[in-house]
């Protein structure tokens, strides 16, 4: 069916306006919570390998048996306002929470299935509704993760061939009569700022149809990269293609979604985001203790923003509704660093300057100000920013979090930062802010 060229042009021409808040935000909170959180990576007293939310698939648990978890969903410690308070303290600017993951269980009161938190659990409360209100009241943009293709519960969804006969499946019926109506239901009921689709839409036509439905329902909702058809993955996993990814992606989305925990080794000068786990699973696993230290998360945030992207950092709440203590502590530390240095992250992006391999610093930039993030301390008191004098004239220079003024000078094509204190001023990453004037016509990015 020929597509509506006018609508395509309108969707693409309004993308920049839609992304204004998202480009400023830079740091989002991902939450994976559902029936898999009750299993916690264990089934039949046996630890199950891999990411926790895939337990139904890994053990090919029957729909009937897995549905039994719904009877156990009663998170007595769940408090959406507590989650929102932790998120504010962490300095996140937007949220993406699993409204429906691949297991098909809905954390919202859907009229299209009783397999949801309100109608099928002793808890009986509309989690997505409570979360949406609490986070919006806290000033955080609200987004929903929605699995539009894989659905191990629905007979026509993709991915469950152990309960259902693949010959009998009708995916188009699933997509048109269930997935798209549920997405529109989420928009109508909860008014999200972002829809985070996963893991792809099978064909160009279906991806285009879903994009058009969403745009018509709410033009300014931001749509993540995994609405795009599966060919998008070919570009993600080829290093040469990744360098040129802005030529082809996003297709129907508003920004590119890299692979899970995929940190590019170079700047990508268009809109992209990477989802990152705190440990090694998205959904809670009681046996996964591989927590990233706060300093590691801060360095990941700096790396991602310095290469042009957004960090979507995940928390997998426990079955009782509490965030893991390790996640609360990490988020508190990241938030305290952002309170001191957030100007170098929020609304910042890559500098018009290549950073040599293995540099002891990373750069972010906004017009008029260059931010130097020190990964290793220059103990001799002087720091060389390679090639910077080709691009900028340096003016006032200071330690961002303390206003401690520093001196600069030019050495060939480099800018030298001098009179650095004898030891790092920040327990994680000290940031230097350099007021700069671009040298017209110069850019060696
Ligand atoms: C998907 C989900 O299957 C997973 O459970 C989790 O929600 C994660 C955030 O998203 O996993 C993916 C999807 C896409 C890629 C990798 C893992 N990819 O494109 O490389």
Ligand 1 and 58: CB distance under 6 A:
no
Over range 121-143, report the average pLDDT. 98
Residue 284 has a pLDDT of 98
> Which residue puts its alpha carbon closest to atom 3 of ligand 1?
199
**36-75 residue pLDDT tens:** 999 999 999 999 999 999 999 999 999 999 999 999 999 9
Mean pLDDT of 408-431: 95
Query: Rounded CA gap, 105 and 57, in Å?
Result: 14
228 pocket-lining for ligand 1 (C-beta < 6 Å): no
**Average pLDDT of 417-430?**
93
Of 58, 152, 199, the residue with max ligand 1 atoms within 8 A of its CB, to mutate for a pocket test, comes to: 199
Residue 431, pLDDT > 90, answer yes
pLDDT for the residue numbered 440: 81
- What pLDDT does 2 receive? 72
Average pLDDT on 327-340 reads: 98
What atom of ligand 1 comes closest to residue 98's alpha carbon? Answer: 7
Q: What is the pLDDT of residues 272-301, one digit of tens each?
A: 999 999 999 999 999 999 999 999 999 999
Q: Is the CB of 282 under 6 A from ligand 1?
A: yes
What does the pLDDT read at residue 3? Answer: 79
Q: What percent of the chain has pLDDT over 90?
A: 95
Check residue 443 and give its pLDDT.
58
Quote the ligand 1 centre to 159 CA distance (angstroms): 14
| Cβ of 316 below 6 Å from ligand 1 | no
Position in ligand 1 atom list of the atom nearest CA 257: 19
Which of 260, 283, 315, 316 has the most ligand 1 atoms within 8 A of CB, as the residue to mutate? 260
Asked whether residue 266 carries a pLDDT value surpassing 90, the answer given is yes
pTM of the model: 0.97
Q: What is the pLDDT of residue 157?
A: 98
pLDDT digit string, tens, across residues 80-129 = 999 999 999 999 999 999 999 999 999 999 999 999 999 999 999 999 99
Q: Residue 372 to residues 259, 279, 334, 353: CA-CA distances in angstroms?
A: 27, 28, 18, 12
Q: How far apart are CA 215 and CA 221, in angstroms?
A: 7
User: Average per-residue pLDDT in the chain?
Assistant: 96
In this prediction, residue 445 carries a pLDDT of 61
pLDDT of residue 444: 55
- The percentage of the chain sitting over the pLDDT mark of 70, rounded to a whole number, equals 99
């Amino acid at each position: 069916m020929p597509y509506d060229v006018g609508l395509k042009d309108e969707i693409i021409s309004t993308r920049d306006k839609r992304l204004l808040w998202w480009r400023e935000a830079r740091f989002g909170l991902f939450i994976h919570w559902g029936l898999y959180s009750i299993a916690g990576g264990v089934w039949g007293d046996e630890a199950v390998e891999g990411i926790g939310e895939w337990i139904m698939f890994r053990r090919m648990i029957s729909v009937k048996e897995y549905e039994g978890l719904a009877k156990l969903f009663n998170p007595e410690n769940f408090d959406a306002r507590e989650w929102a308070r932790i998120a504010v303290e962490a300095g996140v600017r937007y949220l993406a929470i699993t409204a429906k993951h691949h297991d098909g269980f809905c954390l919202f009161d859907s009229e299209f299935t009783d397999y949801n938190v309100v109608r099928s659990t002793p808890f009986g409360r509309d989690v997505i509704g409570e979360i949406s209100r609490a986070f919006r009241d806290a000033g955080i943009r609200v987004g929903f993760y929605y699995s539009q293709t894989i659905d191990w519960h629905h007979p026509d969804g993709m991915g469950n061939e152990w309960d259902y006969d693949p010959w009998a499946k009708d995916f188009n019926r699933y997509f048109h009569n269930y997935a798209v109506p549920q997405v529109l239901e989420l928009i109508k009921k909860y008014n999200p700022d972002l829809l985070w689709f996963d893991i792809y839409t099978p064909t160009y036509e279906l991806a285009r149809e879903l994009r058009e439905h969403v745009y018509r329902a709410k033009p300014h909702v931001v749509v993540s990269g995994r609405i795009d058809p599966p060919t998008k993955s070919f570009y993600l996993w080829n290093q040469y293609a990744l360098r040129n990814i802005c030529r082809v992606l996003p297709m129907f989305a508003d920004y590119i979604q890299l692979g899970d925990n995929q940190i590019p080794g170079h700047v990508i000068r268009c809109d992209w985001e990477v989802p990152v786990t705190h440990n090694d699973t998205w959904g809670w696993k009681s046996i996964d203790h591989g927590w990233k230290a706060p300093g590691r998360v801060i360095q990941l945030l700096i790396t991602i923003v310095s290469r042009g992207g957004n960090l979507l950092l995940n928390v997998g709440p426990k079955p009782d509704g509490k965030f893991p203590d390790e996640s609360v502590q990490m988020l508190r530390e990241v938030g305290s660093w952002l309170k001191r240095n957030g100007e170098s992250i929020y609304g910042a992006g890559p500098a018009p300057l290549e950073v040599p391999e293995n540099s002891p610093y990373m750069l972010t930039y906004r017009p008029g100000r260059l931010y130097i993030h020190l990964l290793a301390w220059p103990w001799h008191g002087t720091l060389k920013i390679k090639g910077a004098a080709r691009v900028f004239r340096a003016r006032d220079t200071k330690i961002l979090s303390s206003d401690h003024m520093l001196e600069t000078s030019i050495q060939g094509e480099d800018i030298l930062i001098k009179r650095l204190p004898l030891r790092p001023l920040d327990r994680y990453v000290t940031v230097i802010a350099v007021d700069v004037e671009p040298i017209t016509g110069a850019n060696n990015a």
